[in-house]
Amino acid sequence: MIETAAHLLTTLRARNPRVHCITNFAAMNLTANMLLAIGATPSLTYAADEVYDFTMRADALLINLGTLDEARKTAIPLAISTGKPWVLDPVFVHRSDVRLNFAKQFMPHILRGNADELAVLKPTSGVIVQTGAIDHVRDGARSINIHNGHPLMAKVTAMGCAGTAIMAAALAVEKDAFVAACCALIWLGIAGEMVKATAPGSFQPAYLDALYLLDEATIRQKARIS
């Protein structure tokens, strides 16, 4: 997997895939910047009459359930109906039954949540990613733990949301969703370890720098999986 993660980053940068993101307001800017830094091109609209066109011209789709208003509830099924490979981030789904019921109707290629979110969703199919101090990725047949990362990533808002968009970028260039999820998590975790900052304000710009400067040699040297 480590060698694949190294090669896939080069592939992603060569292909510059388009990732359409329906995400929450607090995450939009960081999500777009992380996609640009890794080598993808973001778009972000969720207007009902243009979201289908934008998603059709994209290579992968991110759906994030933060700030889930009526306009997003209308746009999300339209975007999914394009048939593009897609990743779901069910933010705070344990804090509102409305959000939980909305989330349960979908079958994403990759579902990324924390322990609280996955506990209420009880997913049984597709690739399941549980992020935390150690990230776990599993599908019906395979399972991997990724040990890379930095504690300050949890102190920057929308870092997890934007990281899920990086999984969508990986999925745009790697059809095996299990492999795409693992590679993205390896990139995200190592970028965190490359940052020297000791507080969250300076951590965020330095993290974008690290994603932009990440290379195959660093991935081979620093990846820790089990």
What span, in angstroms and rounded, lies between the C-alpha atoms of 160 and 154?
8
In the shown chain, the binding pattern of residues 167 to 206 toward its own copies, with x for contact by CB under 8 A and - for none, equals ------------------------------xxxxxx-xxx
**What 8-state DSSP symbol labels residue 224?**
-
What span, in angstroms and rounded, lies between the C-alpha atoms of 187 and 192?
9
The residue range among 21-29, 104-112, 166-174, 218-226 that interacts with its own copies, by the rule CB under 8 A, is 21-29
CB of 71 to its own copies, least distance (A): 6
| Stretch 87-146 residues interacting with its own copies (CB under 8 A) | 92, 95-99
Q: Are 34 and 211 in contact (CB under 8 A)?
A: yes
The nearer residue to its own copies, 93 or 181, going by C-beta atoms, is 93
Q: Are 9 and 219 in contact (CB under 8 A)?
A: yes
CA angle 204, 209, 215 (to 5 degrees): 130
Regarding 77 and contact with its own copies (CB under 8 A), the answer is: no
CB of 137 to its own copies, least distance (A): 26
In whole angstroms, how far apart are CA 108 and each of 55, 85, 129, 190, 226? 15, 8, 12, 26, 25
Count of residues that interact with its own copies, criterion CB under 8 A: 55
Q: Which residues bind its own copies (CB under 8 A)?
A: 24-30, 32-33, 36-37, 42-50, 53-54, 57, 66-71, 92, 95-99, 155-158, 197-202, 204-213
